[in-house]
Structure 1
Amino acid sequence: MSPLLLVLLGLLVLVLLRGRTRRVGEPPLITGWIPYLGKALEFRKDAHAFLEEQRRRHGDVFTVYIKGNYMTFIMNPLMYPNIIKHGRQLDFHKFTNVVAPYTFGYPPVDDVRFPGLGDKISSSFHLLQGSNLTLLTESMMANLMAVFRQDYLNEASDHWRTGLAYDFCTSVMFEATFLTMYGRPPSGWRHPGMGPMKDDFLRFDTMFPLLIAQTPLWLLGNTEATRLKLINHFLPQKMSQWSNRSKFIQQRAETFDQYDTLKDMDKAAHHFAILWAAVGNTAPATFWSMYYLMSHPEALQTVRQEIQDVLNQSGVQICCDRDIVLSRDQLDRLLYLESAINESLRLSTASMNIRVVEEDFHLRLDSERSVAVRKGDIIALYPQSVHMDPEVYEDPQSFRFDRFLVDGRERTDFYKDGQRLKFYLMPFGSGSTMCPGRHFAINEIKQFLCLLLVYFDLDLDHQQRTTLDCSRAGLGILQPTKDVHFRYRLRTATDHHSPPQTTTD
């Protein structure tokens, strides 16, 4: 017998001898037989299918051993409110304070060398909301318009151009978001080398699931070198030369400068982490919104007409040589567009809301039931199970652009077991840990789609379809398994004043 096989057998025996056993009052325990990995491979292959199978076997609450962690999944959305309101015994930050520094390459913010840093960083997120959201939205509109004007609005109106939809969305959103957050270079308005930087970003993002899982860097090829290249873009001496930085980034930079113990590379790594947070999920969310609209001509026509109506009501004349400005108030009036985006998020979101158990206790699930949980375990909500539940959403696999509208208003009444759900759509997390940039993200996607639909005729290559890549389940918006070709051309003045027509030639 080979030495390697002996080691593996030894590990298996060790796991079997020392493995965890279910205690009285605890949920059903699913461990698997692979040492350390447990059920990780099955979960990664198709998390939704795996969890639904466990629910059929074990009920709404069960514990799964996945890569060294015992994770208790709560599969009934009627139980979500009780889980989310727990603050003292269930902690979100303990998990992020470990995985984020490892993923992005900065020291933990709760390190004794940086007293108060975590609280100051958290307080900066209010600059993504309220009146500051208005300023960010206006800046994003201007930067999106500039990118579109420079790269895509300089062709003859009858000339079809071809592109890859995911690449198109990523290129535009990456540069416009970068400009909005971090500002413009000393000369001109475009940062040099933005294309190669985006490519490095995508290479890093490919490895993101493995970094979150804290896979040793030496196993990830050039990932550490790629991350270092990206971090170097945000060194303080470089950023100090950029103008029109967002208040959000400006305040964070000022906070970092208060700590002499924080190295320049550490500061830069924090800024890079925000870039990923701003683009990593927003780019694929933009793609899916664009893809589903192009795949459903009636939805595209309705949304395009709504955009044109809102602009016309403001006296805006639409033509290719005139820039469009959509205010935050106008974006809020685009109800069909917002419903279509929410429907795209429902179909493509596979995020996981997690909390770390702070002490052994009985977790109250509802008025009649509780389960025993252990300190150090993870409590997980998996919203995709709600988003794909036919009891909550009729025909859940289908894209219905007006699913979140009723009688011209936003629809918020969705039910499970005859009870109205408080949490029925959860692309941005839940409770106090909801993504602080969620309103900005929705506005970004709206702005991109507005410019795209107003200025261009669009034609998806219907011979090419794509599906969701389930390998990133648990981390946010799923990416497509492959990119898809599409055609686009400038719309004429006549197009802007007549019912939109889909292109089939």
Structure 2
Amino acid sequence: MHPVVFICLEVAVIAYLALQFLLHGTQSKREPCLLETKVPFLDSAIGILRHRVNYLVNLRNTYGVSIHTLRMPFQRLYVVHAPELIQFIQSKANATTFVPNLLDFGMLFSGLNVDSQRCLRRAFGLQGNAFTMSVHKYLLSGPSLKAATRAAVDRLSASVPNNFQHNRQEGLLELVRRELTLALTGAVYGPENPYDDPEIEAGWRDFVPGISHLLYSPFPSLTAHKALRGRSRVIDAFRKYFETGGHLQAFPMVPEMYEMNKSHGLTSDEAAKMEMATSLAMLSSGAVTSFWLMFHILSDATALQNIRKELLSIIKDEPESAETTLRTKMLNLNSIKERCPTLVAMMNETLRYHSTVINIKQVQHDTTLADEYLLKKNAIVMIPGQSIHHNTDIWGPGAKTFDHHRFLSTESKKNLSSTSAFRPFGAGVTMCPGRHFSTNVILSLVAMIVLQYDVMPQAGEWVAPTKRNADLWNAMPKPDWDVGVWLAKINEEKEVQWKFLWGDDAAIM
């Protein structure tokens, strides 16, 4: 063997043994178990790159542990799978010990400079998360939620007939993605919505695939060059939006958050960057959730028939006029959650079965969890939703299969109120405050499509795409490929004009 090669191998062996010694020497026996390590401190990063969203669940399935430790350079991760341990972490008694840690994520992908990051950390430390508080205030319940939902439904009602043409062929994800993007952002950003410009919407689509690079890549300027250019286009559009007063015509949450960010010390240009976080909150999961929900409905003839029957039962015929031959059918969409149990059950099952949400908290001081596990200060606690949603002790032997009847049973419905069993929107103070707005709009879009169109697979049969390349950061896994479909307008005995609205006569959930 060449001496240089021998020396390199010797150095590699010594480095490996030294890292293994450092790893195990700094791991307390009282901490959650440290799993088998092949590359000290880098196993997790390699596993995430290889397996993406399935990495943590694969560890759970392989080792069958309730909680375990992952070590990365300068960071401990405690991954919790057991419902009873999750309850301890989420209890009010531990609210100041396990603190949500999403600020760094938002600042990283938004591109804030160092001074702005410092300002936000100081402000949020003293006053709390302004973004979450604003969304809670305007979108969690009440008249403002109703107003936002109505604005989004009006956008959908106007755009769907124009974009869903008879005999159109398109990818199912792409069909619902554009509709939801314009409806959700239009409702929030108002008549000057930057995303109404196709160039800006394209910039957003270029940006999203690069988020993983911004999180994990040592050289994001090289590996995510296209994404960073897309982000710049979106941020520039929001700078102009605020400069010209577009936000003054928007949903009141937008100007309030903008002024709060400026009061924290952000410049106008830096405050515009925070709309990347608002946009991600609105757009990261809605279209993907709609895709999977539509796929399961359309690929199950019985479910589709039952859902159509439920929707048709709440439709009202408006009186015919002698001046027109059109028959007008009206659907008040805010009655869906109460009067369409199969559709709502399929929405909940879609969220349970597919959701890959990970709840992240930081340990504020050394603490003992459940009188057994030592958790060290500044470590990160990760709670993978999949471990709970596919737990057979909670959901029965069919937990790992999709069952559209599941949430029609009283027992499963009870689990909806338990974040130790059902957590597609997270849990605790970080539980997604915009979940009602999002699900209202998703169910409205699905109802409009199901009632007006037959949607058939171009391949001749429905084949579910895989999700191997889904991003770890997203709460819903994007399919590895889109499913090509073609649309056919449902034939009616008499030409029908549909009227969809979000009225005042039913409670909003």
Q: TM-score range by the shorter chain?
A: 0.7 to 0.9
Check 1:54–1:120 CA distance in 2 against 1; reply closer, same or farther (3 A cut).
closer
| Secondary structure of 1:70 counterpart | strand
Q: 2:47: which partner in 1?
A: 42
Which residue, out of 69, 87, 109, partners 1:81? 87
Which residue, out of 128, 131, 149, partners 1:121? 131
Q: 1:147: which partner in 2?
A: 159
Which residue, out of 282, 290, 294, partners 1:278? 282
Measure, in 2, the Cα distance between the counterparts of 1:7 and 1:444: 59
1:373-452 map, 5 Å: 373-393=375-395, 394-406=397-409, 411-413=413-415, 423-452=420-449
Q: Give the partner amino acid of 2:147.
A: L
Q: 1:478: which partner in 2?
A: 477
Does structure 2 conserve the Cα–Cα contact (< 8 Å) formed by 1:77 and 1:424?
yes
| Secondary structure of 1:210 counterpart | helix
- 1:60 is displaced (CA, Å) by 1.1
Measure, in 2, the Cα distance between the counterparts of 1:210 and 1:387: 28
- 1:137 is displaced (CA, Å) by 0.9
Q: 1:469: which partner in 2?
A: 468
Q: Deviations over 1:104-129 (max 9, x none)?
A: 11232534489967544333121112
Q: Deviations over 1:147-185 (max 9, x none)?
A: 213323xx5xxx422111111111111111111110113
Q: 1:457: which partner in 2?
A: 454
Check 1:105–1:182 CA distance in 2 against 1; reply closer, same or farther (3 A cut).
same
Q: Say whether 1:357 aligns with 2:363.
A: yes
- 1:52 is displaced (CA, Å) by 4.7
Measure, in 1, the Cα distance between the counterparts of 2:412 and 2:46: 39
- 1:251 is displaced (CA, Å) by 1.8
Which residue, out of 345, 348, 351, partners 2:351? 345
Q: 1:91: which partner in 2?
A: 99
Q: Give the partner amino acid of 2:69.
A: T
Does structure 2 conserve the Cα–Cα contact (< 8 Å) formed by 1:352 and 1:383?
yes
Q: 1:302: which partner in 2?
A: 306
- 1:63 is displaced (CA, Å) by 0.8
Does structure 2 conserve the Cα–Cα contact (< 8 Å) formed by 1:114 and 1:262?
no
Q: Say whether 1:27 aligns with 2:37.
A: no
Give the share of equivalent positions with the same residue, in percent.
Answer: 18
- 1:57 is displaced (CA, Å) by 3.1
Does structure 1 conserve the Cα–Cα contact (< 8 Å) formed by 2:355 and 2:386?
yes
| Secondary structure of 1:426 counterpart | coil
Check 1:4–1:281 CA distance in 2 against 1; reply closer, same or farther (3 A cut).
farther
Q: 2:272: which partner in 1?
A: 268
| Secondary structure of 1:396 counterpart | coil
1:56-71 map, 5 Å: 57=63, 59-66=65-72, 69-71=75-77
Q: Deviations over 1:206-260 (max 9, x none)?
A: 122232347443232413222111111211445613674112213213333545x
Q: 1:205: which partner in 2?
A: 208
Q: 2:145: which partner in 1?
A: 133
| Secondary structure of 1:458 counterpart | strand
Which residue, out of 108, 112, 116, partners 1:102? 108
Report the TM-score, using the length of structure 2 for normalisation.
0.83
Measure, in 2, the Cα distance between the counterparts of 1:316 and 1:466: 45
| Secondary structure of 1:392 counterpart | helix
Measure, in 2, the Cα distance between the counterparts of 1:262 and 1:114: 13
Q: 1:231: which partner in 2?
A: 235
Residue ranges of structure 1 left out of the alignment (5+ in a row): 415-419, 498-505
Structure with the largest fraction of helix: 2
Measure, in 2, the Cα distance between the counterparts of 1:114 and 1:355: 15
Does structure 1 conserve the Cα–Cα contact (< 8 Å) formed by 2:210 and 2:224?
no
Measure, in 2, the Cα distance between the counterparts of 1:115 and 1:433: 15
C-alpha RMSD of the superposition: 3.3
- 1:283 is displaced (CA, Å) by 1.2
Check 1:345–1:45 CA distance in 2 against 1; reply closer, same or farther (3 A cut).
farther
Q: Deviations over 1:372-427 (max 9, x none)?
A: 111121112112012223343342343222211137x972259xxxxx96522211
Check 1:342–1:148 CA distance in 2 against 1; reply closer, same or farther (3 A cut).
same
Residue ranges of structure 2 left out of the alignment (5+ in a row): 497-509
Measure, in 2, the Cα distance between the counterparts of 1:374 and 1:316: 69
- 1:270 is displaced (CA, Å) by 0.9
Aligned length: 473
Q: Which stretch of the first structure deviates more once superposed, 458-467 or 279-288? A: 458-467
Q: Which stretch of the first structure deviates more once superposed, 27-36 or 120-129? A: 27-36
Does structure 2 conserve the Cα–Cα contact (< 8 Å) formed by 1:44 and 1:473?
no
Measure, in 2, the Cα distance between the counterparts of 1:286 and 1:228: 28
Does structure 2 conserve the Cα–Cα contact (< 8 Å) formed by 1:354 and 1:379?
yes
Does structure 1 conserve the Cα–Cα contact (< 8 Å) formed by 2:214 and 2:224?
no
Check 1:55–1:361 CA distance in 2 against 1; reply closer, same or farther (3 A cut).
farther
1:161-180 map, 5 Å: 161-180=168-187
Check 1:216–1:100 CA distance in 2 against 1; reply closer, same or farther (3 A cut).
farther
Check 1:101–1:192 CA distance in 2 against 1; reply closer, same or farther (3 A cut).
closer
| Secondary structure of 1:453 counterpart | helix
Report the TM-score, using the length of structure 1 for normalisation.
0.83
- 1:28 is displaced (CA, Å) by 0.8
Measure, in 2, the Cα distance between the counterparts of 1:495 and 1:389: 50
Measure, in 2, the Cα distance between the counterparts of 1:33 and 1:50: 16
| Secondary structure of 2:382 counterpart | strand
